Structures are given as structure tokens and as C-alpha cells.
Amino acid sequence: MGGDNSIFNKIRKGKSADIDNAAASGGGARRALTTAANQTGASGLNRMTAEALNLPAMDDTAINTAVGRFLKSASVSAHREIEKVVRKALASGAVREGETLTIGVTLKNEKLNLDVTIFNRIDL
């Protein structure tokens, strides 16, 4: 997308009337707006509401489903990795049956400003 009059550049410069007009004009403009909003980062996207982009808002059920899919996948992978290292540690004598291990899981995402570590215990 080139030129100073492109939708992308208008979004970056914050010309809201141009953004609203482009959103109302349909498919190609909507795609360009979404791409430009994503390229300007979360703050740019937050300033543009779903209505201004003429897009439906993401509802709680859709967010819950998306997060649930991620957690299911992460849970299966984490379970497999923890079992593997616990078996190895038991076999080598590094840990013993009956011990309690504290394990942390870190969730990170720069775009969401997410950096949380959750600790819990595993009783062997």
C-alpha cells in the first residue's frame, strides 16, 4: 500500500473520518484497515472500534473458545514434558517417590503485555 493517501497511512496518521469512510466502503478497504491496524500495534487497534471497521465485535464465547483451545494444547504438551523429565529424574535418583516438586508455568505475550508465572506443587 503506497502513497500518502493510502488507507494504511491515513490510519497511521489518525485521520478518523477517512478511516470511517474507508470502513464503510466495503471488503478491500476493510481488509486494508485490519492489516494496517495490526501493523500499528494493539494501541492502534484499540482506538478503532469494531463498529468503525464495520466488523462484528468478538464475543465472550469466541474468546473463551480460543483461549480454551490454546490451554488444551498447552496442557497436553506440558503434561508430556513434565512426565518425561520426572521419569528421568526418578530413574537417575535426582528425585524420589513421595517428594513434592514445585513447578512453574510462564505465560508470555508482548502484544497483550502478559507475563505471568503460575506455580504449583506435584506430589510424587
Question: Tell me: the pLDDT tens digits for 22-73?
Answer: 555 555 555 555 555 555 554 444 445 555 556 566 678 888 899 999 999 9
Name the least confident of 32-36, 60-64, 85-89, 118-122. 32-36
Q: How many CB atoms lie within 10 A of CB 71?
A: 12
Q: What percent of the chain stands above pLDDT 90? A: 44
Which residues does 110 contact at the CB level (< 8 Å), separation at least 6?
A: none
Helices vs strands, H then E, count in the chain: 5, 2
> What are the DSSP calls for 36-74, one per residue?
HHHHH-HHHHHHS-TTTTT-PPPPHHHHHHHHHHHHHHH
pLDDT for residue 90 is more than 80: yes
Residue among 18, 21, 24 at smallest CA distance from 3: 18
Place of cell 494444547: 73
What pTM was computed for the model? 0.50
Q: Give me the chain's average pLDDT, please.
A: 74
Q: How far apart are CA 18 and CA 113, in angstroms?
A: 30
